[in-house]
Structure 1
Amino acid sequence: MVVPNLCAASFAMLRQIEPIIMLEQLGNTLFETALRMVARDRCVNATYPGLSREDSQQKAMTDFFMIYSLIIRFVPILPSLILGKLSDRGWRRAPIVVPLSGYLLSRLVLLVVVICSLPLTFMFGAAVLYGLSGGFSTFWPGVMTLVSLRTTATDRSKVLMRVELLYGLAGLVGSLVSGHLFQLYGSSLGHGTILLIVSTLLHLLCLILSIVLLQVKQVCQEEPEENCHLLSSSFSSSTSSSSDSLVAPAPARINLVNLALLFAAAFLYDFAVGGAIEILGSFVLKSPLSWSATQVGYGNAAGCGIFFTSFIGVIVFRRCVSEFTMILIGMLSFASGIFVMTFVKTTSMFYIARLLNLFALIPMPTIRSLVTQQVPASSCGITLTSLQLTLKVAGLAYIPTYTKIYQRTLDWLPGFVFLLSSITTVLGMIPISIAGCRTARKARCERIQGD
């Protein structure tokens, strides 16, 4: 009896979205380390008038990643909207399966580039393939939609953060081994080949699981929390001993002002975080840090460790503060850590800065949780896709901005872009504070009317 029950439990687990998330992030982490190191090796002989050899390498690398990142953020816009609409019409697996196909193709292209010693510019074509499939801007809203539909509004922020935790743990494992796998190669193959083969196989397994086994669940529509909105969710965990007593029916009209404030906060925070991370990969490869592939993997692992600390933060904070306050705590954590990163000169200082980012991943899943509570389940997919596209617009803005600022400040303060991120994060705290005050005021009015 034990063996059949264990097999049944394992099969049921494989039908959930979580194994796909973890395998995808594991393969994606291996790919990102490989791409970063391959780009460094291909740009080592770059020369620009008036620049030293190291600064020329940094300029060539950042220019490549600027174009590559812009492609993978611009091309998916239309496919994301189409797949988001398909999701809301009942094709819930489409935003999962189609992007995973693009992931697999782009990983195969880099593998061919390494094996056949093709120019790095071939990766621009891989970025187009990735974008046409919808990319991350379709995959992640698809994941968030499936998870949101199977949870109640009261528990949604915790469950979404748990998904982020699993995503981060997979990234942690991938980061720790990626640098070592990059060093492995056969007699006729170059560095990174084995790493990319493993990454490709993991993405192939993800695609098979999503097509064959993935199950779509939805919480019972009769639960009172199902259409719970921003008001009741934000305060049920912190101001009431019984969540059901605060659950109100869905309002006739969505609170567009609060929704706009949430989108604005997400835009500013993604602008700050995305811009900093975009440059951080190149920053650690230059002096005085001059990291190896193994050190790059360990640095990425430190970043993935933040998923765990942020999850613990959500579990603890949701018992005593509102979701708006949790977002502010996370933003403050990132702002302080990235401010210290401005002045990093040694590897130990780098890890101290990352340590201050303990709760930096709390804001985005919490914002997504609040956004999903503003709309009925039938519009959840397109709303989350719209939010993700808003973040794509932020990417189209911060990628060239941060790249050019970084290139122009290499001589006097390479970490100036991190200072800019810290300031932008503080600005992002303003719309969240306004939305929190508006919601608190409305909650007090409704409690008075109820009494």
Structure 2
Amino acid sequence: MGIIRTWIEPVVAGTQVASSFYDTALLMVVRNHYNKTINNISYPTNSSNEEMLQKAISNFYIIYNVIMGLTPFLSAYILAKIGEKTSIKITICVPLLGYLISRMFLLFVIIWEWPVEVIFGSAALNGLTGWFTTYWAGVMTWASLCSSERRRSLRLIIIEMVYGLAGFVGSLVSGHIFVYLNITNQQGTILVCCSIGCYALSVLYSIFVLRTPQEEHCCSETTRLLKDSSNTTIQTNSLDDLPFISKCFLITMFTSAVLFNVAFTATEDVINVFVLKEPLNWGPVDVGYGYAAAYMTYITSFLGVLFLSKCTSDLGLIAIGMVSFSSGLLMMAFVHWTYMYYVARVLMMFSQIPTPTIRSVISKHIKGSSYGKVFVALQLAIEIVSVSASAGFNKLYQATLNWYSGFCFIIFSILGFVSIIPISIAACTEWLRSGQQNISENANTCQVPDSDDPCSSTDHQPIH
């Protein structure tokens, strides 16, 4: 029972089901709002209505994502520091409370017909309480502390799989709930209420049930390594004490993660709008299925790590995931029918591998007490750059809407392939570091080489 109380998976599952409900509800409420507004100021048969609707929804999400992505900059690192000094639960509970309160705003928009711009205020509140930046960094830190170095990549991808499976289930039913279950003919009321309920359960579990890894001693191997002051491997180095070659390695990993997530975030933002227009012209049910297909990649990525990790390294897994993602995007650029969308998603089956594996690799090069700060810094870098670039990519999508709406996906695909370059550099850096470490070990065990055996040794004692 003690080990069960350290499981972070129920929090991840409940929160992601809630988020998938909310994402579908928000997209359809925003679409209905601007569709009604545009029809009131122009003739329904006007051929430009669809273009106006696409631009209105796109502009809404540009502002929404910018607010949501930049406001955590004020609080994420502070929460990480507080969590480091008190309890890691701070970085999980505070963002979840922010989610719970801010998601209620959409319910007010639906029931009392508040202006849809109220959602910008809820985004600011969500960001100021840490948002996904702090929450996910806390989850990854928790999982890292509860896993051995050897199994850490698998442990983190299991968390991602739970995240994706919960999102898949939530998205699969969200469209049906939006259409068929309503109160007073207001579409989305039950769906938003279900979302708020799931957030409430996650908050209660994280506050009253979840116990920190240190309290339950669930990760004795990791704790032992962190407390072993005589261990000279890179695991126990603080950030300031890392060798230059290791700092270069971490920089390349950060760069690759940021580039990849810029392409990833921009892709999901544009797809949300892309599927609402011709030729796909999806409704609430199809939107839910589309989200579910996206979440399926978390499950296939987990299976990929489970089987491919036996024959390749972490850096190899990252490269495979990036190639899978970029190839699927090339296919997405030429989607004209719904079945082609799902074919593109199949090609992207390993697209969730890179980011958690990068976190795993980084965690193996720093000491455990730095996990929280480093993961928050990584998530902040990803969010700030991704949100800024996403706004520009959304404008590019609007500019190419009538020319070739899939052009953006070609750009994102190129960016995905470019993100492989830092991984290649990191692989070379790791090879050099391993070479230096081997030389150092040989120097410590061999004082004077013999003509026949460089390490012969009854006559020489190891240097301490």
Normalised to the residue count of structure 2, the TM-score between the two structures is 0.88
Q: Which residue, 147, 150, 154 being the options, matches 1:154?
A: 150
Matched, 1:293 2:284: yes
Structure 2 matches for 1:250-289, cutoff 5 A? 250-251=236-237, 252-254=241-243, 255-289=246-280
Amino acid in the other structure paired with 2:292: A
Q: How far off its partner does 1:367 sit?
A: 0.5
413-422 vs 247-256, greater mean Cα deviation: 247-256
Q: Which residue, 377, 385, 390 being the options, matches 1:394?
A: 385
Q: How far off its partner does 1:173 sit?
A: 0.4
Contact conserved, 2:80 with 2:134, CA < 8 A, in 1? Answer: yes
Residues 157 and 222 of structure 1: CA distance in aligned 2, closer, same or farther (over 3 Å): closer
Q: Which residue, 357, 362, 369 being the options, matches 2:348?
A: 357
1-structure distance, mates of 2:365, 2:277 = 45
Secondary structure of the corresponding residue to residue 43 of structure 1: helix
2-structure distance, mates of 1:343, 1:222 = 48
What corresponds to 1:80 in structure 2? 76
Unaligned residue ranges in structure 2 (runs of 5+)? 443-464
1-structure distance, mates of 2:166, 2:222 = 35
Matched, 1:374 2:365: yes
Residues 413 and 46 of structure 1: CA distance in aligned 2, closer, same or farther (over 3 Å): farther
Matched, 1:145 2:141: yes
Q: Which residue, 123, 127, 150 being the options, matches 2:123?
A: 127
2-structure distance, mates of 1:60, 1:273 = 22
Structure 2 matches for 1:15-26, cutoff 5 A? 15-26=6-17
Q: How far off its partner does 1:448 sit?
A: 5.3
RMSD between aligned residues: 2.2
Structure 2 matches for 1:298-313, cutoff 5 A? 298-313=289-304
What corresponds to 1:236 in structure 2? none
Q: Which residue, 150, 161, 166 being the options, matches 1:165?
A: 161
Contact conserved, 1:146 with 1:217, CA < 8 A, in 2? Answer: yes
Structure 2 matches for 1:56-67, cutoff 5 A? 56-67=52-63
2-structure distance, mates of 1:397, 1:128 = 16
Residues 118 and 361 of structure 1: CA distance in aligned 2, closer, same or farther (over 3 Å): same
What corresponds to 1:182 in structure 2? 178
Matched, 1:425 2:416: yes
Residues 99 and 442 of structure 1: CA distance in aligned 2, closer, same or farther (over 3 Å): same
What corresponds to 2:305 in structure 1? 314
Q: How far off its partner does 1:223 sit?
A: 6.5
Residues 293 and 222 of structure 1: CA distance in aligned 2, closer, same or farther (over 3 Å): closer
Contact conserved, 1:150 with 1:217, CA < 8 A, in 2? Answer: yes
Q: How far off its partner does 1:89 sit?
A: 1.3
Q: Which residue, 31, 35, 39 being the options, matches 1:40?
A: 31
Contact conserved, 2:293 with 2:342, CA < 8 A, in 1? Answer: yes
Matched, 1:192 2:188: yes
Please identify the structure whose Cα radius of gyration is greater: 2
61-70 vs 212-221, greater mean Cα deviation: 212-221
83-92 vs 162-171, greater mean Cα deviation: 83-92
What corresponds to 1:13 in structure 2? 4
What corresponds to 2:101 in structure 1? 105
Amino acid in the other structure paired with 1:220: S
Q: How far off its partner does 1:172 sit?
A: 0.6
Amino acid in the other structure paired with 1:380: Y
Secondary structure of the corresponding residue to residue 441 of structure 1: helix
Unaligned residue ranges in structure 1 (runs of 5+)? 1-8, 229-243
What corresponds to 1:239 in structure 2? none
Amino acid in the other structure paired with 1:198: C
Q: How far off its partner does 1:247 sit?
A: 6.8
Contact conserved, 2:175 with 2:287, CA < 8 A, in 1? Answer: yes
Contact conserved, 1:25 with 1:167, CA < 8 A, in 2? Answer: yes
What corresponds to 1:220 in structure 2? 220
Q: How far off its partner does 1:397 sit?
A: 1.9
Contact conserved, 1:88 with 1:380, CA < 8 A, in 2? Answer: no
2-structure distance, mates of 1:249, 1:26 = 35
1-structure distance, mates of 2:186, 2:234 = 61
Residues 261 and 37 of structure 1: CA distance in aligned 2, closer, same or farther (over 3 Å): same
Amino acid in the other structure paired with 1:142: G
1-structure distance, mates of 2:85, 2:367 = 13
Contact conserved, 2:148 with 2:222, CA < 8 A, in 1? Answer: no
Q: Which residue, 88, 94, 104 being the options, matches 2:90?
A: 94
Q: How far off its partner does 1:118 sit?
A: 1.3
Amino acid in the other structure paired with 1:116: W
Residues 401 and 338 of structure 1: CA distance in aligned 2, closer, same or farther (over 3 Å): same
Residues 281 and 205 of structure 1: CA distance in aligned 2, closer, same or farther (over 3 Å): same
Contact conserved, 1:15 with 1:215, CA < 8 A, in 2? Answer: yes
Amino acid in the other structure paired with 1:261: T
Residues 250 and 94 of structure 1: CA distance in aligned 2, closer, same or farther (over 3 Å): closer
1-structure distance, mates of 2:308, 2:255 = 23
What do residues 342-363 of structure 1 show as CA deviations (whole Å, max 9, x unaligned)? Answer: 1100001000000000100000
Amino acid in the other structure paired with 2:31: R
| Sequence identity percentage | 37
Q: How far off its partner does 1:154 sit?
A: 1.4
Contact conserved, 1:269 with 1:425, CA < 8 A, in 2? Answer: yes
What do residues 358-400 of structure 1 show as CA deviations (whole Å, max 9, x unaligned)? Answer: 1000000001111122221111101100000001112232221
Contact conserved, 1:306 with 1:360, CA < 8 A, in 2? Answer: yes
Q: How far off its partner does 1:91 sit?
A: 2.0
Contact conserved, 2:84 with 2:372, CA < 8 A, in 1? Answer: yes
Matched, 1:414 2:410: no
Contact conserved, 1:84 with 1:138, CA < 8 A, in 2? Answer: yes
